[in-house]
Amino acid sequence: MSHPAITLEVLPAGFGDCLLVSCPVGRSTWRMLVDTGPDEAYPALRRRLLQVPHGADGKRHIDLFVVSHIDHDHIGGARLLLSDDDLGLSFGDIWFNAPPRPRIRGVAEGQSLADILGGGDKALPWNLAWSGQPVSTPADGGGVELTAPGLPKVTLLSPTPDRLDDLYKVWAKELERLRRKERDRAEREPAATRGELPSIEALAARVTPTDKAVPNGSSIAMLLEHQGASVLLSADAFPTVLVPAMAALARRRGIAGPVPIDAVKLSHHGSRANVTQDLLRAVDARHFVFSTNNAYFKHPNAEAVARVIVGGRNPTLWFNYDTPSNRQWGAPDLMARHGHVVRYPEGDVGVTIELPARRRARTG
């Protein structure tokens, strides 16, 4: 049996994101880690990384570590990871956006990570693929494709330069929020996930505001492709950035209609402010991933889940936690009525999605 072209592990990261992506390259494995979740979720990530085999140099190698943005639920464990000498990690590259060093002084997680990446006792790589410059699309948001023979193709979709500029203007304030471990800002409307659900169609059609949180807008989001398989890793990116980027990608590739993608890790843990009908119309996907335990802001919002169910073609919804809020979407009568399928983890290890080559997705 052939190996999957892309294996996406959605680790249990509480209310945050922590993704481990693996792709076969010859006789070896290319690995990418995207975010770490909050600091309290680090033990689960550490347990998983201890299973990564040592290389010939005695190190556990991560080809690319992406710190998508500076919200605590994404970056909280990064400093713990990079200072964990017992793991014996090595990195090919680390993507992380911070302002030019002379402009900022701080002690919060974002700045601490910048300090570690910038030197000190460890000579860690920092944005090497970008010649040390910020990880950013062109000003028009058209995306950037990074390719090398035999390796996975990465197409950067977010952030745009103006979203980074917005972040840098409030960098000191956001670092202070991180120092206090403040959680992402609550949305004003309560999540409609208690009691009997309104109709799925009515939920999907609700008009809701889009995300305007500055750190979310600076998210590093990408399309990863390997051997014909593909996964969209959205972090907490704005739909107003992702939709034009996907449209530009479709034009470049001569695609009429939505871009075919095997799996989508939905933005902002399934927030109604990020999972919009426009975004779902921009992709033709079969698998949609929700990374959250529903803590604090009750993600995923019912409107976002309903939009996936209505907008997809018999989609499979993946939840990395089996909670009552997540479980309601797998009610047999609901799935029979709308044609979707729901997958939950077995135990506390999150979920793993395997995508084979040649576009036809197989899961496990």
Q: What is the pLDDT of residue 363?
A: 43
For residue 262, report the phi and psi dihedrals to the nearest 5 degrees.
-70, -50
Model pLDDT for residues 49-58, shown as the tens digit of each residue: 999 999 999 9
CA distance 260 to 359: 9
CA distance 63 to 146: 14
Q: Is the predicted pLDDT of residue 364 greater than 50, yes or no?
A: no
For residue 357, report the phi and psi dihedrals to the nearest 5 degrees.
-70, 170
Give the CA distances from residue 100 to residues 70, 152, 340, 360, in Å, rounded to whole numbers and listed in that order: 15, 30, 46, 44
- Judged by DSSP in three states, 75 sits in helix
Q: Is the predicted pLDDT of residue 110 greater than 80, yes or no?
A: no
Q: What is the pLDDT of residue 362?
A: 42
Tokens at 261, concatenated: 């993608």
Tokens at 118, concatenated: 């910038």
Q: How confident is the model at residue 114 (pLDDT cuts 50, 70, 90)?
A: low
Q: What is the pLDDT of residue 194?
A: 47
Other beta carbons within 10 Å of 40: 14
Q: What is the pLDDT of residue 183?
A: 63
CATH superfamily, domain at 6-183+194-355:
Ribonuclease Z/Hydroxyacylglutathione hydrolase-like (3.60.15.10)
* Residues 277/307, Cβ–Cβ less than 8 Å: yes
Q: What is the pLDDT of residue 211?
A: 93
- Does 184 or 130 have the greater pLDDT score? 130
Q: What is the pLDDT of residue 41?
A: 96
CA distance 322 to 344: 6
Phi-psi region of 296 (alpha: psi -120 to 50; beta: other; left: phi over 0): left
Give the CA distances from residue 253 to residues 115, 118, 260, in Å, rounded to whole numbers and listed in that order: 39, 37, 11
Mean pLDDT value across the chain: 89
Whose CA is closest to 288, among 192, 225, 216, 361? 361
Q: What is the pLDDT of residue 195?
A: 52
Model pLDDT for residues 122-173, shown as the tens digit of each residue: 778 999 999 989 999 998 877 899 999 899 999 999 999 999 999 999 988 8
Least confident window among 11-25, 104-118, 266-280, 295-309: 104-118
CA distance 278 to 241: 11
* Residues 14/41, Cβ–Cβ less than 8 Å: yes
Q: Is the predicted pLDDT of residue 238 greater than 90, yes or no?
A: yes
Domain parsing of the chain, residue ranges = 6-183+194-355
